[in-house]
Amino acid sequence: GENVEQHPSTLSVQEGDSAVIKCTYSDSASNYFPWYKQELGKRPQLIIDIRSNVGEKKDQRIAVTLNKTAKHFSLHITETQPEDSAVYFCAASITGSARQLTFGSGTQLTVLP
Amino acid sequence: NAGVTQTPKFQVLKTGQSMTLQCAQDMNHNSMYWYRQDPGMGLRLIYYSASEGTTDKGEVPNGYNVSRLNKREFSLRLESAAPSQTSVYFCASSQSRGQGKTEAFFGQGTRLTVV
C-alpha cells in the first residue's frame, strides 16, 4: 500500500519568514495530494490540494509543488504569521480508491513573534 | 449542517472495559473512516467503510471493531480496552468531488485515556 513520509516533524520560523514542509510517497499510482491543517485542540481541515497533472498551485500565502518523477511534494508558506502555527499533514490518494487518503506523520509548525 | 459529529469528546476507561465511539455525518458521503492520532505518528487509519454495509481494515485494526449501521453512522468499538489504546480518535467522511479530488471532513475528536 501507499506510504507517505513527512519532514520535518517540527519546524520553528520567525514571523514573516517562509516555511517549507516536504513529503514523499511510494505508490506511483497516487495522483491527488492534499494538505490538512490542525490547530491546537481542533479537527484537521483541508487547506490546499494538488493533482498529479499540475506541478504547482498557489492560494494566497500558501503553495504546493509536486515532482511526480521523484515522488515528492511540498507545502510552502510565505510571510508566516502566528495564526499559521499548527500541525500540518500531507496526504496521498489514488483517486477512486476506497481507502483514499494515506496521511503523513505531521509537522508541528511554530511561528515565533 | 453539522458535518461530522462524534461522541463522546472525552472518555476515561479502565483496562479491560469496553466502549463504543459513535460517529454520524449528514453530508450523504459514502466513505467513512476511523483514525487514531498519536504524537509523532500522525493520523493512522483503523478501519474504513467505502459504503453502507461494507467495512475493511486499515493500518492499525487490532483491538477494534466497527459497524456501518447505515449511510450516516459508523461506530468504533473497543471490546477490552488496553493502555496502548490511549489516543485521540477521529471519525471522518469523504466524497470524491470531481476532477479527481477527495476531501475528508473530520469530527471534533475523542480523547480516550485507558488506565
Cell triple for B30: 459514502
Residue B74 CB burial class (10 angstroms; 0-12, 13-18, ≥19): buried
Q: Which residues in chain A have Cβ-Cβ distances shorter than 8 Å to B109?
A: 43
Query: Is the CB of A32 less than 8 angstroms away from the CB of B109?
Result: no
Give B28's contacts (C-beta < 8 A, 6+ positions apart). Answer: B71, B95
C-alpha cell belonging to residue A12: 520553528
Q: How confident is the model over B25-41, as pLDDT tens digits?
A: 999 999 999 999 998 77
Which of A30, A37, A101 to probe by mutation at the B interface, max B CB count within 10 Å? Answer: A101
**Residue in the structure block whose three cell numbers are 476515561:** B12
pLDDT score of A105: 92
Closest by alpha carbon to B15, among B63, B81, B77, B79? Answer: B81
pLDDT at position B14 is 97
Q: How far apart are the first and last CA of chain A?
A: 41
The answer, yes or no, to whether residue A98 has pLDDT greater than 60, is no
How do residues B74-105 score in pLDDT, each as one tens digit?
999 999 999 999 999 999 998 877 777 788 89
Nearest to A89 among B33, B42, B107 (CB): B42
Chain A residues touching B90 at Cβ < 8 A = 43-44
